[in-house]
Chains A and B, each alone.
Chain A
């Protein structure tokens, strides 16, 4: 069972109060982009064992979207943060580095 701290209302929300929103920090490739970029935007996703960044929505609570960094194998939560960002905050990355030295995820790490 996952418990994520909602950075908008401050509730420690049980997984059943949340909706998963898939991989975080995707860059949209829309009209005018190459077929390859568009295909990757639609279908190519990380599937890590370990550090992962995701979007979640506090669906049965305040209704806000936010980001979460967690480990897919231990379910350890490294932190949650605002939806209004295109990359993980330094504070979160530093915390992960302290616990999982040498981690990488896409271009981050």
Chain B
């Protein structure tokens, strides 16, 4: 068996903020009627938390659920648990109209940490990241320069970013450029 590795094998960069590849993450796409009891149960059964309301992320004991669209959620858990979680979810959903796919190996995740994190992200996304407009608990799908991305805040100084694995190198380079020393704008 080959050893699974994340796109950039934990690479990190320090400038205005610290940018790091988060390593392997379990991610499961769940599509269906998010208000259906079976869909909610399948998702929360993995995380031990609640279902997220629109544009938010809900954390539980063993994972998080992000609201991706009116009929899509992203269930996040430990990489090692994703395969089993897909099986459990599929069983729990039974004949309920839905789709469950393990997308862990199709994604990359980054963490952007530091007091300038809001500013670094604001350079790349057409989103209002000002304090009060975007806060921990909110979840936003958007773009970073030319690629699709999803972002949320773990705390006041920390952003998490998800993108497709195929563009991980591009995303890392973007984040490093936006976080280049000497490029502070101090808007927030």
Contact = CB atoms under 8 A, between A and B. Distances in A.
A56 B52 CA distance: 26
A89 B68 CA distance: 27
A64 B31 CA distance: 14
Q: Chain A interface: which size bin?
A: 10 to 19
Contact of B68 (A10, A11, A17, A62): A62
Given A9-B69, A10-B54, A11-B55, A61 B126 contact: no
Contacts of A14: 126
Given A8-B69, A16-B126, A17-B126, A60 B54 contact: no
Main secondary structure on chain B at its contact with chain A? strand
Interface of B: 54-55, 68-70, 72, 126, 140-143, 148-149
29 contacts: A8-B69, A9-B54, A9-B55, A9-B69, A9-B70, A10-B54, A10-B55, A11-B55, A11-B140, A13-B126, A14-B126, A16-B126, A16-B143, A17-B126, A17-B142, A60-B141, A60-B142, A60-B148, A60-B149, A61-B69, A61-B142, A62-B68, A62-B69, A62-B70, A62-B72, A63-B69, A63-B72, A64-B69, A64-B70
A20 to B, nearest CB: 15
A13 B142 CA distance: 9
A60 to B, nearest CB: 4
A56 to B, nearest CB: 15
Contacts of A63: 69, 72
A9 B142 CA distance: 12
Interface of A: 8-11, 13-14, 16-17, 60-64
Nearest to B144: A60
Contacts of B148: 60
Contacts of B68: 62
Contacts of A60: 141-143, 148-149
B70 A8 contact: yes
**Which 4 pairs of residues, A with B, have the shortest CB-CB distance?**
A14-B126, A62-B69, A60-B143, A61-B141
